Structure formats: C-alpha cells, structure tokens
Structure 1
Amino acid sequence: MPEEKVYDDVEVHDMNDGFQKSNHANVSASEGQNGAPVIWKALSVVIAMAAVIYDLSPIDVVPDAVPIFGWLDDVGFTLMAALNAYQQFSKDQSAMVVRLAKYVKWMMVAFIVLAGVAVGGLVTAIIALVTQ
C-alpha cells in the first residue's frame, strides 16, 4: 500500500508509488534481481573475450599503424564489450544507468558499422583512382 503524505491536514496519495512498486515486482519476477538471464551473461563474457583478442591481434579492421584511427577501432570494440557486460551483469535491469549503457552501446555499434563502411568506401575509392 502506498505511503500516505499529509500536508496541512489534507491527505495526498502518490499514484506513482503504487505503480512503481507493482511494475518493479513484474520486472523482478521476469528478469530476477540477479540481472539478465544466464545466456546473455555468458554471451557478454564471450564478446568481452573477443574484444580483448581483437585488441591483441595484429589483424585489425583499421591497422594500428594508422594514426589515431588505428586505435579508435580497438577502443570502440572494447568499450562496447564493457558496456554490454555492465548491462548484462547489473542487478537492476530497469535502472537508469543500465538503460543509458544500453543506448550508448548501440550507438557505439552503429558508429563502428558506419566507420567500417566509410573506411571500406575510402579504400574502394583509392583503389579505383589508382587503377585508372
């Protein structure tokens, strides 16, 4: 039952208190207080390990010899993997920070895809100019 607040002998009921408690109970029942399902946690660990392997590997989408951009792809993959792991292992999946991590993670994915398309287009344009 929501707490009652009394101001100057007027009783005020906060309608959001009851909604948040019942909504939180539904989230707790479906996802549990231990974070995301185990399969998503395991996948986030695999993604994090793949990001570390990618960072250590001499084979990159953008070679590390390219100034600044060579390291940005490594940092982007690692940051995306870290945000994903944080999101999956967070106890309260409905928290604002977890939702923010989710959106930032997907913006990083979109940025990485767009950067890959841009680099691919640049390489294609250079090859086309050289072969003419």
Structure 2
Amino acid sequence: MSALEIRDYVARARREPTTENIEALWRAVFLLKGWYFLPSTRQEGPATPMVTMLGEEAWLLAFTNVRRIKEFSRQVGMAAPDGTVQLLVLDPRESMERLVAVEDRVEGVVFNIGSDETFRAPVAAVKAYAARMGLDNLG
C-alpha cells in the first residue's frame, strides 16, 4: 500500500463519507506494513508513542508513511538539527496492541496530523475495523 493510495482513500472518504469508502480507507490502513509513531521522549530502547491533545481529548498520534512523520516533526521542532527524526514503526497488530494498552487514557488515534491526509477514529471504531481485518484477541 503506497502513500498515494492512502491519500486517495482519505480524499474519497471525505468527498463521499459512505460506509464503503470509510471501511476501504481503514482496510488500506490495516494493510500497511507499518504505522509510524513519534516516541513520547527521546531515548534509547523501547519507546511509548506520543499522544496529542485535540480540544480536551488525548489522541494517539500516528502516521501512514515516513514523509508525513518527517514533515510533522519539522513543523513542530522535533527533528534534530540535521533533519533526522526518531520514530517508532510498528506493524498494525503491534500498533493495535499499543492502542488497546492505553485505551482508557486516549480517545482514539489520529493519523497524518497537520496534513491534507489527516483522519481519525475513536478507539472502539479502530478496534472494530481491526477485528474485521482479522486482528482480534488484542490486549
């Protein structure tokens, strides 16, 4: 699944927010080899994905490709002076396990924040899409 395809799914779901188009977007997301996260702190070893506040609600921050995460990191001053970015790449199952582990503290997951490809869903909806993709028995 390429970034271009995700962009197309997001555009289609926005233009025509039918169940079919929204499910197609999430199917594409779950077919990605990895979801990209910024670590909440700069450290060596295991990292916890960053959370962002949207209004009064905490959302897990995720990206569908390296380009999006690098653009966001530069925009918010998280990139190193040489432009490098620390990131955490997890396959969809690992990503869902992380989401389930913090579901009592976050509203959901927001992808590609700060771009034309931003989309989000509450934890319950993402878990339902995951189950449809065969990712059940999480957490």
TM-score, length-scaled by structure 1: 0.20
TM-score, length-scaled by structure 2: 0.20
- Structure number having the greater strand percentage: 2
Higher RCO (C-alpha 8 Å, min separation 6)? 2
